[in-house]
A and B are shown apart, each in its own frame.
Chain A
Amino acid sequence: MTRIPILRMGDCLLVTLQVDLQDGAALDLQDDLANRIAATGARCVLIDISALAMVDSFIGRMLAAISGTARVLDAATVVVGMQPAVAITLVELGLSLQGVRTALNVERGMRLLRSTIEEPGLDRGP
């Protein structure tokens, strides 16, 4: 099974999910992303799901797990590009993706991530 490529741009990791996402590949991505965050010290993760024609409970759970793991590793995650039909179906299915930040497109997602990581933390001096 092919692994999902993770691109690095500065302190950001970028992932684009493709149409036919298999469960195993989604699980591998969770591991790979955690390792890459730890290895590179990346501060943010952007996941583009605009090519996904559906998000079921398994993929939804993966997105929540990635967000949670990244947060514990001091990186912010944003999921961008969800199609309207996917959003409607996801909510009807019973998933609200709590704890997962979303943005309409890549541009707004990057802006959100920038503002998040540039916000001075309480434990960081000037």
Chain B
Amino acid sequence: MTADPERALALRTESDVVACRQAVRMLTQGLRFSLVDQTRMVTAASELARNTLVYGGGGEMRWSIVQRAARAGLRLEFEDHGAGIADVDLALTDGWTSGGGLGLGLSGSRRLVHDFELRTVMGAGTCVTITRWS
């Protein structure tokens, strides 16, 4: 698996979230994702980028084009060095939020992608990796 070197984009401000959406749109277009699949990936990225900013205190998105058999995919990693998530199962529950949101960021974005992985260490940060295959 995997090819292409990883690239990164800082997530420090609201305009970085917009830049992240634009970058993911272009990447999915480059991989010839269908319009709905582009929208799924962009929406998932928007949710996770906002989480990185709001709950993680900022961080970065890294991306890579991955290969599995004949399929190409886009992998995105959202990493912050914030407080971490105390209860991952709870955080992945629809409607649960520690802030003022709807509680759909993590659980909803998981439904929009094929692979979803969440690693978190209390006091050290959180990294969410998502992949969608073409």
Docked CA distance A95–B89 (Å): 20
One of A35-43, A57-65, A103-111 contacting the partner:
A57-65
Interface range on chain B (Cβ under 8 Å from partner): 20 to 34
B65 at the A/B interface (Cβ < 8 Å)?
A: no
Residue of B nearest to A58 (CB): B50
A92, B42: Cβ atoms closer than 8 Å: no
Interface residues of B in 1-16 (CB under 8 A from A): 14-15
Task: Given A53-B25, A57-B105, A89-B36, decide whether A22 and B46 contact each other with a Cβ distance below 8 A.
Answer: no
A20, B14: Cβ atoms closer than 8 Å: no
A6 at the A/B interface (Cβ < 8 Å)?
A: no
B39, A85: Cβ atoms closer than 8 Å: yes
A75-103 interface code vs B (CB 8 A; 1 in, 0 out):
00000000111101110111100000000
Interface range on chain A (Cβ under 8 Å from partner): 20 to 34
B102 at the A/B interface (Cβ < 8 Å)?
A: yes
Which residues of chain A are near B101, meaning CB under 8 Å? 57-58, 61
B107 at the A/B interface (Cβ < 8 Å)?
A: yes
Docked CA distance A54–B14 (Å): 16
B18, A53: Cβ atoms closer than 8 Å: no
Rounded to whole Å, the gap between the CB of A107 and the closest CB of chain B is 24
List 13 A-B residue pairs with CB atoms under 8 Å apart, sorted by A's residue number.
A22-B14, A23-B14, A23-B17, A53-B25, A53-B42, A54-B42, A56-B43, A57-B101, A57-B102, A85-B38, A89-B36, A89-B39, A92-B112
Using CB atoms and an 8 Å cutoff, list the residues of chain A in contact with chain B.
20-24, 53-58, 60-61, 83-86, 88-90, 92-95
Q: 9 nearest interchain CB pairs? A: A93-B108, A85-B39, A57-B104, A56-B46, A85-B36, A89-B39, A94-B108, A85-B35, A22-B14
